[in-house]
Amino acid sequence: MAYDEQLANRIRGAFGTRQDVTERRMFGGLTFLVHGRMCCGIVGNDLMVRIPGDEFEAVLRRRHVRPMDFTGKPLKGFVYVSPPGFRTPAALLAWLAYGERVAEAKAVKPAPRGPRASTRAPGGAALRTRSTRG
């Protein structure tokens, strides 16, 4: 499936010279990643946007928006926006801001934890543990 190259150029222009934004062909279209996490994309003429979980239901009620159902089953956290919904530069920037927030939040990794004790013996056999209850 082809994607709207004019929309791709508008998105590239909106991201400007950011070094943390990359492009990848995916879902039969083009996706934009921020810090290596999916932010938005283009499938056909539609804008695909990642939406914060706590805002998802409200966003779905907006005009020109429908759930992303690429596989026939809605993909939680993603929506399609039809062209009238991102016609103006301000509207496109607002949609991209949703995706950027999610991608940046997902890119922040929790602090590493210390080493965990293995519950497996060499060779993969489960270790027996002894109860310390009296």
User: Could you read off the pLDDT of 112-122 as tens digits, one per residue?
Assistant: 665 655 555 55
CA distance 21 to 32: 7
For range 69-92, the mean pLDDT = 91
Instruction: Return the CA Rg of the chain.
Output: 21
CA distance 51 to 96: 10
Beta-carbon contacts of residue 10 (< 8 Å; ≥ 6 apart)? 89, 92
| pTM summary value | 0.76
> What's the CATH number for 5-107?
3.90.1150.30
What is the per-residue pLDDT for 75? 81
For range 77-100, the mean pLDDT = 97
